[in-house]
Amino acid sequence: MKWPDVVSEETLGPEREEKRMERSWKIGDVKITQVVEMSVEIGELDGLIAEATPDAVKEIPWLYPDYANERGQTLWSVHSYVVDTSSAVVLVDTGCGNHKDLPLIPNWGGLNTAYLERLTEAGYAPEQIDYVLATHLHLDHVGWNTVLRNGRWEPTFPNARYTFVKDEFDYHEELTRGDTVSEDLEHAVEYAGADPDIHRQTRLVFAESIQPCVDAGLVDLVPENHVICDGVRYTSTPGHTKCHHSLTIESHGEVGFITGDFIHHPIQTARPGWSSRGDWDRALSADRRRTFLESAADSEILVFGTHFAGPSVGRIVRDGDTYKFVAA
Q: Which tens digits make up the pLDDT trace of 23-50?
A: 999 999 999 999 999 999 999 999 999 9
Structural domain includes residue 292: yes
Burial, 127: exposed, middle or buried (Cβ in 10 Å; 0-12, 13-18, 19+)? exposed
Q: Which tens digits make up the pLDDT trace of 301-322?
A: 999 999 999 999 999 999 999 9
Backbone angles phi, psi at 56, to 5 degrees: -70, -40
Structural domain includes residue 13: no
Number of domains the chain is built from: 1
Q: Which domain holds residue 299?
A: 22-327
CATH number of the domain bearing residue 62:
3.60.15.10
Residue 246 has pLDDT above 80, yes or no: yes
Structural domain includes residue 82: yes
Q: Is the pTM of this model over 0.85?
A: yes
**Pairing between strand 30-39 and 22-27?**
antiparallel
Structural domain includes residue 303: yes
Cβ-contact 169, 145 below 8 angstroms = no
Q: Which helix (H) or strand (E) holds 323?
A: strand 322-327
Structural domain includes residue 289: yes
How far apart CA 65 and CA 310 sit, in angstroms, is 8
